[in-house]
Amino acid sequence: MKTTFLCAIILVLGGIAAICVYARAENQQSAEADVRGLSDEEEVRAFLNTDPKAMAQIWSDDFVVTNPLNKFVTKTQVLEMVNSGFLAMTAYDRKIEYLHVYGDTVIGIGSETVVWGGKMPNAGKTEHLRFTSIWRRQRGRWQEVARHANIVH
């Protein structure tokens, strides 16, 4: 009787553990898909449409970036560059090469091809970039909190 009871408990605990592992894997896949959509689609679209409202939604209030001009800027500063017509892109292709979920944080690494517009020093030129982005789940949604992008020479 005791052996049967112990076996039943072990089976139940094993089932619970399997459910937890499955739920974690499902959450990681969901996080990856959410961040890919935000990064590959929404953020790129916001830049191509020069849409600072969309950018403001995607980025955390404490978003910072080291940009391709080798300047460290805040969310407010990037949005000011967009609103002033300085920062614009006429073509933008992003390829995420690595995306990994670490709980409530996602790290993305990849490459971009950009044709600058606006008042950028390289307006009209095509440049290739490497980037690293950090996303966090904040207030129930994924937001980009930091980014580094540099021009590949």
- For the chain, the helix, strand and coil percentages under 3-state DSSP, each to the nearest 5: 40, 40, 15
Would strands 141-151 and 87-102 be described as parallel, antiparallel, or unpaired?
Answer: unpaired
pLDDT surpasses 70 at 12:
no
What pTM value is reported for the model?
0.81
Cβ-Cβ contacts under 8 Å for 121 (sequence gap 6 or more): 69
Task: Report the sign of the C-alpha dihedral through residues 78, 82, 87, 92, in that order.
Answer: positive
**What residue type is 86 in one-letter code?**
F
Question: Domain ranges in the chain?
Answer: 2-151
Determine the straight-line distance between the first and last CA of the chain, rounded to whole angstroms. Answer: 73
CATH (residue range 2-151): 3.10.450.50
pLDDT digits (tens, 9 = 90+) for 71-130: 999 999 999 999 999 999 999 999 999 999 999 999 999 999 999 999 999 999 999 999
pLDDT digits (tens, 9 = 90+) for 15-56: 454 444 444 545 678 899 999 999 989 999 999 999 999 999
Q: What is the Cα–Cα distance from 91 to 47, expressed in whole angstroms? A: 9
Picking from 70, 73, 74, 147, the residue whose alpha carbon sits closest to that of residue 112 is 147
